[in-house]
Amino acid sequence: MNGAQNQARDDRRPMAGQSPRDAAETPEGPRPGDEYAGDERAVLEAPDINRALTRIAHEILERAKGPEKLLLLGIPTRGTILARRLADRIEQVEGQPVAFGSLDVTMYRDDLRLKPARALGRTDLPTEGVDGRIVVLVDDVLYSGRTVRAALDALNDLGRPTAVRLAVLVDRGHRELPIRADHVGKNLPTSRAETVRVCLAETDQRDAVLLRGGLR
């Protein structure tokens, strides 16, 4: 077994500070544990993230014409956190709670057989389900689009929403499927050799979006 595979095995359990899904989305790209030439640099800091989420919250509300039919579904792990934060902001603005939950898409991924079997994330849905709701899928980074494709399939098995929208904190490009986000915190042009890492206070002790340079 070489080192890279060893590292990949470890990925099957979620680790603090490292989303295994990010690695999964870049089968040919860098993996956790690879050595990088440059240092990590922050492309978004906590206040930037805060502002971006506030803006996205307003956009979502405006597009949905109110919070009543909204259901924010985060894709674990960091998408779930972002969905909760967006829900909090919408509640602050509207004075009434908005439904939110999480949607694990692991079982629907198309790259399962490329990596060791992995642990599942949580799926939490309101008891009313998704039928007739405006579902906003929330994720941290939009990259190949394959995670979102899996999420759409998962949603399809759960019911029939009126509409499905997509909100992401960072869109780093390099789409492999015809998918685009409705709400984007920051468009971040990257090369495939770079890694984007989203840190959130709930899991990573601080808010930041970090970019690491290409492979050495």
Partner 1 sequence: MNRHLLSTSDLSRDDALLILDTAEHLAQVADRSIKKLPTLRGRTVVNLFFEDSTRTRISFEAAAKRLSADVINFSAKGSSVSKGESLKDTALTLQAMGADAVVVRHGASGAPHRLATWVDGSVVNAGDGTHEHPTQALLDAFTMRRRLGDLDGRRVTIVGDVLHSRVARSNVHLLHTLGAQVTLVAPPTLVPVSMGDWPCEVSYDFDAVLPKSDVVMMLRVQHERMNASYFPSAREYSRRYGLDPERLGRMPEGAIVMHPGPMNRGMEIAAEVADSGRSTIVEQVTNGVTVRMAVLYLLLSGSEPAIGGTQ
Positions that interact with partner 1 (CB under 8 A): 9, 12-13, 104, 107-108, 112-123, 153, 157-159
CA–CA gap between residue 86 and residue 185 (Å, rounded): 12
- Whether the Cβ atoms of residue 61 and residue 43 lie closer than 8 Å to each other: no
Q: How many CB atoms lie within 10 A of CB 26?
A: 17
Please, which residue, 51 or 122, has the CB nearer to partner 1?
122
List, in sequence order, every beta strand (DSSP E) within 8-96: 41-45, 70-74
Residue 2's Cα: distance from chain center in Å?
Answer: 30
CA–CA gap between residue 68 and residue 94 (Å, rounded): 10
3-state secondary structure of 212: strand
Residue 5's Cα: distance from chain center in Å?
Answer: 24
Please, which residue, 5 or 96, has the CB nearer to partner 1?
5
- Whether the Cβ atoms of residue 98 and residue 78 lie closer than 8 Å to each other: no
Nearest distance in Å: CB 120, partner 1: 4
Please, which residue, 120 or 177, has the CB nearer to partner 1?
120
Please, which residue, 104 or 194, has the CB nearer to partner 1?
104
Residue 174's Cα: distance from chain center in Å?
Answer: 16
Nearest distance in Å: CB 71, partner 1: 16
Tokens representing 41 are 């640099």
Nearest distance in Å: CB 26, partner 1: 16
Nearest distance in Å: CB 116, partner 1: 4
Please, which residue, 9 or 63, has the CB nearer to partner 1?
9
Please, which residue, 24 or 199, has the CB nearer to partner 1?
24
Nearest distance in Å: CB 138, partner 1: 19
Nearest distance in Å: CB 193, partner 1: 23
- Could you tell me if residue 173 is left (phi over 0), alpha (psi between -120 and 50 degrees) or otherwise beta? left
- Whether the Cβ atoms of residue 142 and residue 170 lie closer than 8 Å to each other: yes
